[in-house]
Structures are given as C-alpha cells and as structure tokens.
Chain A
Amino acid sequence: AQSVTQLDSHVSVSEGTPVLLRCNYSSSYSPSLFWYVQHPNKGLQLLLKYTSAATLVKGINGFEAEFKKSETSFHLTKPSAHMSDAAEYFCVVSDRPGNTPLVFGKGTRLSVIA
C-alpha cells in the first residue's frame, strides 16, 4: 500500500531564507511523487514531479526536490523564500504500475515573514 507523511504541518520562514518542506513516502512499487501547491481559495497547481528519471527534480518558481530511495524521502526545497510562496503544500504519491489514484499527504502550511 502507498502512503505519504508530511513531517511538518506548519513551517514559517523569513523572506529571503531557504525553504525545506519534508515528505516521506511508502510504496510497494517504484513510485511517482509530486508536490502540489494550493494558494488560499484556489485549486491545486503542480510544482514538480518525479517519475523515475533524474532524482533531482526542478519545478516552477525556483522549487526543487530530491528523490532519495534509501531514505524514502522527497523533500521540497527553495533557496530563497518569497512572500508569494506562502501557501499550502501537498506531497503526493502514485504507485506504478497500478491504477490506484493519487494519495495525498496532510499538507504543510508555509508562512513567509517579511
């Protein structure tokens, strides 16, 4: 069975400092992993995805994540936070080759302080 654990429910950083949002996964197969962002009262936007190619994945808005199989982790990072990064972030897993729908983590709320 697949599952995903976001280790922090809330992360607060100062503008211009690095961002680290942590995610661990469990999967019976080789997983696909995603980070989605949701701004208040908006839908979900795909930030980046890992689908078995390069383990360091670059996404939009300067975010990146590294797939570490030995640690079953897929942490999201950004070198310098911007006020507009304040949002809810979801780590999501999909087993391959299955037909199972995406499984969401509980989310991490990122606050950016001026």
Chain B
Amino acid sequence: ETGVTQSPTHLIKTRGQQVTLRCSSQSGHNTVSWYQQALGQGPQFIFQYYREEENGRGNFPPRFSGLQFPNYSSELNVNALELDDSALYLCASSLAGTDNNEKLFFGSGTQLSVL
C-alpha cells in the first residue's frame, strides 16, 4: 500500500460528457503527476502539479486540465470526452526538493470507459 488513493475506481461515461477524477497523495508529498495508460501500453505523462501549479505537461489537448489543492490532493478533469479517452488513469505522488524526488508512489487508478 502506497497511501495514494484514487476515486472512483471505475467510471462509465458517454462521448461528449465531462469527468473529474480525484487523487489524495501520500502524506508529506507535495507533487502529483497524472498518467493515462491504454490497454497493453505504458503510462503516458499527462501533467504534473507542484505547489498547486502545473509544472510540466505531456502531449495532451487543453480539454485535459487539473488542479492541486493546498493539502496537495489533486483533480484531473477531462471535457468533451472521446472514445479514445477510455483508459486507466493513474495518479502518482512524490516529494520534490529531495534526493528521492523522482521516486513515484502510485494509486490503483481509475478505469474510465467512454461509450
């Protein structure tokens, strides 16, 4: 158990809808990264939040947005859902500013299905 929790665990939406996924980071961690993992593929970096600001973004369109709150929990929002957005969404926390800032602690993910 990593201490990173994600909700919900499973979600079914229809094309065009909006979705919000939530993540509580491990106690003491100040950085949250979000990843999208399609079936049989590696996790693709969506973006990272550090001290409540976006600190880097992967190759995802603006309809993927996020927030980080003062308690370091985070949300991933996806607007205008498309069929290809169906995937496992993973949240990972880490502690920036230390020698181990690259070590990620993952939640179990949210499985999103877009119909």
A and B: interacting chains: no
**Which residue numbers of A lie inside 8 Å of B, CB to CB?**
none
